[in-house]
Structure 1
Amino acid sequence: MNKKWWHDKVAYQIYPKSFKDTNDDGIGDIRGIIDKLDYLKELGIDLIWLSPIYCSPLADQGYDISDYYKIDPRFGTMEEMDELIAETKKREMKLIMDLVVNHCSDEHEWFQKALKDPKGEYGDYFYIQEGKGGKSPNNLRSYFGGSAWERIEDSDLYYLHLFHKKQPDLNWENPVLRDKIYEMINWWLEKGIAGFRIDAIINIKKVIPFHDYEPDRDDGLTSSEKMVDEAEGVLELLNEMKEATFQKHDAFTVGEVFREKKEDLEAFIGERGCFSSMFDFNETVFGISEKGWYDYQQVTPDDYRDCCFASQLRSDGIGFLSNIIENHDEPRGVSHYIPKGECSDKSKKMLATVYFMLKGLPFIYQGQEIGMENVPFSSIDEINDISTLDQYKVALNQGFSEEEAFSIVCRYSRDNARVPFQWDDGANAGFTQAIPWLKVNPNYKELNLKQQMEEEDSVFHYYKKLIALRKGEAHRETLVYGDFEPVYTELKRVMAYYRVGEDEKILIIGNFKTQPQELMLEEEDYEVLLNNEQELASVGRKILLNGYQAVILRFKR
């Protein structure tokens, strides 16, 4: 593997709307990010990913962009964005932005012009089709529920939106549109950002002509994923984009790629892949159901381990995955992967240990480093997320009571990760002096950064140790480039693997149980690099891991 500038970095995702509000309007802003750069530097962050801050009506929290060249006034100004880029560079960190080009906002100039003349130049920037017998062109269901087609006023024309109806899909078959997108990408890279996280990109290739699919629910519609699975040729488009943009700037790119064909992994993230990396969603999608959230299967510790290991082995010798336990589209990792009733500082540190040292680029989502948890929402009226509201309706339609449906969606709601960052135990967790746009998790009095910075044994300080260990000179080569070897897979609720370098083997091991577990090491001559407890009980090669204990051990080769 050719070494790249980003391989040994640690990345951090900021959801700007909920990070830090400095002008007391209840919404986070660019100034708030600038003010917290020193904090991120102290934590050990190298690469910062910003969720969208472009102009947007916020139908899908900024993933519906009305102007790719302007900063939404709610977040700040372009001058502040330039300052953020400069201040990030001063601290030897790099900034990447969200690239949302499967769709734009229906308020974008292009779409407004398309509505005025659907058969004209801008009409071809989108998928505008005639209906069939007074119905939509086919029976695709939007990812957010309902038909993926929206009728244009009282005409027989419809436009495609795989996501919200205010997010019309861009027609990537149109080379003029593609050139417009590449021009915009290069404009941002020339401004000084280091790359992009690329949103929902697998969806850009459609199956044309559109046709109906076998319905998968009682509504007569079928998931848009059926078309994604059938589509051919997305890699040609992605490689064209890479050659026209990213490659010229040695930019870092990480793709949000779902349902890619197994044989295509090298084409996505290999030495000549279209992206630098892509997120590992193997654990994220475990247990999902086409029927809806009400039919999801809860992930177990062994499921989580097996999913992680499958991804590691699949990517071995091909490229770097980007590893996460949560992001802005998922519930909090500690609430999702740690069994109910077992969440504690120790179990949070254990989960952090076993995911963070996997081969690949570790991403931390804001608040993860202090162990932020799911929110005890009290009413569906407190929910903002459009996916959650849709799935609430789906559960009700399946006969669940309002109380049952609400309980189901709260477990998986994206709003769990979107509530404000818990900076301190003051008003609104130190996020704002105004009324926050989304409720603060009421546990902020006991769980906040200020408190954890003062406690040496906190989750925050443990994350600092993990980051320092991965980036430190002593073991960087092994922890960044070393081989991955799973071990003790026959044991229940144990997650363990080696990272193997030229002159050392590092064993990462976590007990995913509340009860102690005994293990026999391959050797008895080892050094403890990190432990989420004070002691490690051992006799010779035999060690006893307490409930949710995690250790990182070094063996000489």
Structure 2
Amino acid sequence: MQRKWWHDKVVYQIYPKSFYDSNGDGIGDIPGIISKLDYLKELGADILWLSPIYRSPLADQGYDIADYYAIDPRFGTMDDMDRLIAEAKKREMYILMDLVVNHCSDEHEWFQQAIKDPDGKYGNFFYIRDKKDDKVPCNWRSYFGGPVWEELPGHPDKQYLHVFHKKQPDLNWENPEVREEVYKNIRWWMEKGLGGFRIDAIINIKKKLPFSDYPADRADGLCSIERMLEEAEGIGEFLGEMAEKCFHPYDAFTVGEVFNEKEDEIKDFIGENGYFSSMFDFEETCYGKSEDGWYASKPYLTPEEYKKCIFHTQKKIGDTGMISNIIENHDEPRGVCHYISPEDRCPDSRKLLAGVYFLLKGIPFIYQGQEIGMENMEFTSMDQIDDISTIDEYQVALRAGCSEKEALDAVSAFSRDNARTPVQWSAEKNAGFSEGEPWLGVNPNYKEINIESQLTDSNSLLSFYKKLTALRKAPEYTETLVYGTFAPYQEEQKNLIAYTRNGEKNLLILGNMQAQSQKVSLPGEVKEVLLNNQKAVEITEKEIILKPYQFIVLETADECGVRTAEKKTIAI
């Protein structure tokens, strides 16, 4: 693997609207991010990914972009953005922006020109089709519900394609002019000093043409758009062109939101000279989801299910490239609520989850608030919900026969608003996020879970995340944790997640994901306990006794080693 500047980095995702409000209007902003750079540096973050801050009507919270060259006034100014890039650079940190180019906003100038002249230049920037006998060109269901076709404003005889919200018309990537406009914008931002991009919904840019129906999978007569994506071919031509013209010349770090990739395509996506530097591991994110809707999906994974997912990804990727490891993001529920069952949630299990994912081979991503264990919101009414996908899934659940309470409970477990509640900085008013009324309700548990209280607590989850970043950056262990091999250890042992990272050093990572102690045989002599979420660990002649929810990182003498003969208890 050719070594790159970003391989040993830790990435922190910021959802600007909910991060920190500097001016009291209830909305997080760029100056607020700048004011917290030292906190993020101390945490161990090297790369900061910002969810969209471009000018937008916020139909989908900024993922509907009206101007790719402008900062939305809600978040600040372009001068603020320039200052953020400069201040990050002073701290040897990099800024990533969100690249949203499958679609734009219906308020973008391109779409406004297409409305004026559907048969002109800008009409071909989108997928606009004539209506025939009041039929739509295909029966695909949009990600946010309903058909992907909408009447073109002012033209009752025409319709346009939107695979997301109707205010997010899809760009026609088959048109070279569209691609060149996208590339021009990417280069413009790179020249400003960005470190790269997180690339949104990119798998959708290639459509299976001509448009055609698939068998309906719900009573609405529509089909999941996944059926089309399974058959679409040729996306590599677009992605390869974008990489060669925009990313490779700047040695940019790019991470793709890629679903539906085939195993033989992984090298094309993230291998040597791949389209992207990395892509997210969504194996565990997708596990247990039902195509029928959130109401039929699993609200949380068992330890064995989680282990199955992360190990499958690690084996699948191997040495092909660098995967990006997550437990939550702006589109998912909080990790401690999705990967730990209610009866198992405690301080030690939260640290265990953090350690298990963070030390996998790949690039660790931390989402804002994850480092203190922010939890899902306990929604009591749909009036508290802002997220458009949650609103749609609530209706899906009702149509499936759920009661209003059942539907609310179902969508609450998966709502994107769980991750979008304001960051809990302190126990003060509005969790210290804003002097004004927050745009989205603050989780009531902010007095118990907040950054200020954990900053001074050496036993807090925040302190544990700092230990994880410090271990990954420690000169004697970086080579092993970044480039070392991964191998499952005692994979069949129930409720145990264990694996080795071998390179210059030999590390054994162990996590007991149950409420009972369990014994684990050791591969050889233990040289040192590098990290422990509890006060001590008991090591006997040939095994280690893990307490409930205990997480341990051991350095061993070698991959096989000579077993230790004496019984000892190591405290750290």
Q: Do these two structures clear the TM 0.5 threshold for a shared fold by scoring above it? A: yes
Partner of 1:234: 235
- Shift of residue 540 of structure 1? 1.7
**CA distance in 2 between partners of 1:109 and 1:341 (Å):** 52
Partner of 1:47: 47
The one-letter code matched in structure 1 to 2:180 is: D
Partner of 1:196: 197
Are residue 125 (structure 1) and residue 125 (structure 2) matched? yes
Are residue 387 (structure 1) and residue 389 (structure 2) matched? yes
Query: 1:49 is paired with a residue of what secondary structure?
Result: strand
**CA distance in 1 between partners of 2:255 and 2:546 (Å):** 36
2:98, 2:198 within 8 Å by CA — same for their partners in 1?
yes
Q: Deviations over 1:481-511 (max 9, x none)?
A: 0000001111111100000114x21011101
Query: 1:89 is paired with a residue of what secondary structure?
Result: helix
**CA distance in 2 between partners of 1:554 and 1:281 (Å):** 29
1:521, 1:542 within 8 Å by CA — same for their partners in 2?
yes
**CA distance in 1 between partners of 2:526 and 2:18 (Å):** 47
Are residue 263 (structure 1) and residue 264 (structure 2) matched? yes
The one-letter code matched in structure 2 to 1:337 is: Y
**CA distance in 1 between partners of 2:9 and 2:383 (Å):** 40
- Residue correspondence of structure 1 range 5-404 to structure 2 within 5 A: 5-153=5-153, 154-297=155-298, 298-404=300-406
**CA distance in 1 between partners of 2:244 and 2:178 (Å):** 16
Q: Deviations over 1:154-206 (max 9, x none)?
A: 52211000000000000000001110100000000000001000000000001
- Shift of residue 406 of structure 1? 0.2
- Shift of residue 542 of structure 1? 1.6
Partner of 2:542: 541
Q: Higher mean Cα deviation, 541-550 or 23-32?
A: 541-550
Q: Deviations over 1:374-414 (max 9, x none)?
A: 11111110000011000000000011100010000000111
Partner of 2:529: 528
- Shift of residue 325 of structure 1? 0.2
- Shift of residue 262 of structure 1? 1.7
Query: 1:554 is paired with a residue of what secondary structure?
Result: strand
Partner of 2:486: 484
Could you tell me which runs of 5 or more consecutive residues in structure 2 were left unpaired when the two chains were aligned: 559-572
Q: Deviations over 1:249-291 (max 9, x none)?
A: 0000000001112210000000111000000000100011111
**CA distance in 1 between partners of 2:492 and 2:303 (Å):** 13
**CA distance in 1 between partners of 2:542 and 2:418 (Å):** 42
- Shift of residue 526 of structure 1? 2.8
1:17, 1:75 within 8 Å by CA — same for their partners in 2?
yes
Partner of 2:565: none
1:511, 1:550 within 8 Å by CA — same for their partners in 2?
yes
The one-letter code matched in structure 2 to 1:275 is: F
- Shift of residue 247 of structure 1? 0.8
- Shift of residue 541 of structure 1? 2.1
**CA distance in 2 between partners of 1:533 and 1:73 (Å):** 47
Q: Deviations over 1:465-491 (max 9, x none)?
A: 000000110111001100000011111
**CA distance in 1 between partners of 2:288 and 2:527 (Å):** 38
**CA distance in 2 between partners of 1:182 and 1:87 (Å):** 26
The one-letter code matched in structure 1 to 2:223 is: T
**CA distance in 1 between partners of 2:285 and 2:306 (Å):** 9
- Shift of residue 525 of structure 1? 3.0
**CA distance in 2 between partners of 1:446 and 1:354 (Å):** 25
Query: 2:286 is paired with a residue of what secondary structure?
Result: coil
**CA distance in 1 between partners of 2:303 and 2:402 (Å):** 28
1:524, 1:540 within 8 Å by CA — same for their partners in 2?
no
**CA distance in 2 between partners of 1:224 and 1:149 (Å):** 13
The one-letter code matched in structure 2 to 1:387 is: S
1:302, 1:492 within 8 Å by CA — same for their partners in 2?
yes
**CA distance in 2 between partners of 1:274 and 1:404 (Å):** 43
**CA distance in 2 between partners of 1:340 and 1:137 (Å):** 46
Partner of 2:510: 509
Could you tell me which runs of 5 or more consecutive residues in structure 1 were left unpaired when the two chains were aligned: none
Matched positions, count = 556
Partner of 1:494: 496
- 1:449 counterpart (451, 457, 461): 451
TM-score, reference length from structure 2: 0.96
- Shift of residue 214 of structure 1? 0.5
The one-letter code matched in structure 1 to 2:507 is: I
2:526, 2:554 within 8 Å by CA — same for their partners in 1?
no
Q: Deviations over 1:504-544 (max 9, x none)?
A: 21011101101111111111333100000010022122211
Query: 1:181 is paired with a residue of what secondary structure?
Result: helix
**CA distance in 1 between partners of 2:266 and 2:362 (Å):** 14
The one-letter code matched in structure 1 to 2:143 is: Y
**CA distance in 2 between partners of 1:327 and 1:7 (Å):** 20
**CA distance in 2 between partners of 1:269 and 1:454 (Å):** 40
**CA distance in 1 between partners of 2:427 and 2:301 (Å):** 32
Query: 1:526 is paired with a residue of what secondary structure?
Result: strand
The one-letter code matched in structure 2 to 1:555 is: T
**CA distance in 1 between partners of 2:278 and 2:525 (Å):** 37
TM-score, reference length from structure 1: 0.99
Query: 1:418 is paired with a residue of what secondary structure?
Result: coil
The one-letter code matched in structure 1 to 2:316 is: R
RMSD: 0.8
Query: 1:283 is paired with a residue of what secondary structure?
Result: helix
1:137, 1:158 within 8 Å by CA — same for their partners in 2?
no
Q: Deviations over 1:287-339 (max 9, x none)?
A: 11111011113421111111101100111020000000000000000000001
- Shift of residue 78 of structure 1? 0.2
1:481, 1:501 within 8 Å by CA — same for their partners in 2?
yes
The one-letter code matched in structure 2 to 1:391 is: E
**CA distance in 2 between partners of 1:114 and 1:128 (Å):** 9
Query: 2:316 is paired with a residue of what secondary structure?
Result: helix
Are residue 550 (structure 1) and residue 551 (structure 2) matched? yes
**CA distance in 2 between partners of 1:348 and 1:131 (Å):** 54
The one-letter code matched in structure 2 to 1:556 is: A
